Amino acid sequence: MLVAMTPIGTGLAVPERLEEDRAYFRIDELVAARGYYETEGYVVLRGIVPAALCDRIRESFEREVRGSPTPILRQQEMRYERNCFDANGFLNNPIFNIQDLETRRFGAFKAAALDALTHAPVARAVSVLLADGPEPEPAKIIQSMFFEGGVGTWPHQDSYYQDSARRIGGGIAGWFALEDVDAGAGRFYVLPGSHRRMPVIRNSGKLDFAFHHASYKRAVLEAAAAHGFEWRAPYLAKGDVLFWNSCTVHGSLSPIVERKASRTSLTAHYLQQSDEMRQFHARVRRQKTRLHNGMSVALLHDQDRWPNRLAREIASRYPEAWATARRVAIRTLLVVADWRRRDRSPVAEPEQPVPAPPRDWPSGSGP
């Protein structure tokens, strides 16, 4: 076991080998996996993506993406940037929404990644884990990402950023290991049971994304410490997928640079096919979709369309102006949402099945 430090200063035993971790489940154990997921807020399915497909994704990344000068939308700051690499030569600015990549430049990589995210056993697992009735509904992808280097991610609930329009906690995400992930590469962690025991921190008022994102991050840390949650960083081998609920607190550890290890992986967020995405707890954002292997995949900034390529060029040439315009748009959205929320009576908010955070959680903004 590798002993790492959590963001709240407690020790975390990180399994370095499969034998040091829980057995978890395989695709033919979905009933048991569903029960575990409902209780713990996450589950690991072993070997659900073929190793050959994992290799195809990594090989196509090497061929088409690594050396490309084309700006790509990035997960961390939502900016169009060229590739940036860390001291070990690993991609340091993760790719956001693989499905939006320009087919002419990145077609093989995009197809391979989407083949994994829509792989039949994956689609079956997501549908079963999302099911809220006797008959599972097909799932759709609303967001995806690609990682290579470890970047470290603060603990958070996905619901703060996006969730189901139908009900809070109605979304699910998956972290797809495309290689055996070293314990020091920036392992993914979860806080079991946090989807049930911890209130959803609403994206509004003194904890909103536009003005008080730093306060939100502190609020999650305080809540995690106050509830005494266990922290787990499961061992993930090539082809394993960790699924978690949109209300489960999770993140990733900072990498140990000396280990010189990558964590090549995909992430995807799913909803039931008939559902829509609720963004920032403020609005329902309906998305255009395209079928891939029979699964609907949402498009946000489809680079196969020339207006979006033009926007990419403007955003990459004038990054600060683009970022400012985005901040203004998000702030306007959240201010309007807060006004509407104040005007509504409590009975008109069925999307809030969980209590609001305690009043003494921190407020104010910071870097």
Separation between Cα atoms, residue 194 and residue 200, nearest integer Å: 9
Mean pLDDT of the chain: 90
What the chain holds in terms of domains, given with CATH numbers, is: 25-348 (2.60.120.620)
Strands 139-147 and 295-299: parallel
- The reported pTM is 0.90
pLDDT, average across residues 228-236:
96
Query: Could you read off the pLDDT of 76-119 as tens digits, one per residue?
Result: 889 999 999 999 999 999 999 999 999 999 999 999 999 999 99
In sequence order, what E strands does 6-71 have? 11-14, 42-45
Q: How far is CA 83 from CA 68, 72, 147, in A?
A: 8, 8, 12
Query: What pLDDT shows up at residue 359?
Result: 28
Separation between Cα atoms, residue 180 and residue 200, nearest integer Å: 33
Residue 273 near residue 164 (C-beta atoms within 8 A): no
Separation between Cα atoms, residue 5 and residue 182, nearest integer Å: 16
Name every residue whose Cβ is closer than 8 Å to that of residue 30 and which is 6 or more positions away in sequence: 124, 125, 128
Query: Could you read off the pLDDT of 48-74 as tens digits, one per residue?
Result: 999 999 999 999 999 999 999 999 999
- Predicted confidence (pLDDT) at residue 367 exceeds the cutoff of 80: no
Query: What pLDDT shows up at residue 343?
Result: 65
Separation between Cα atoms, residue 211 and residue 216, nearest integer Å: 10
Residue with tokens 């991609």: 91
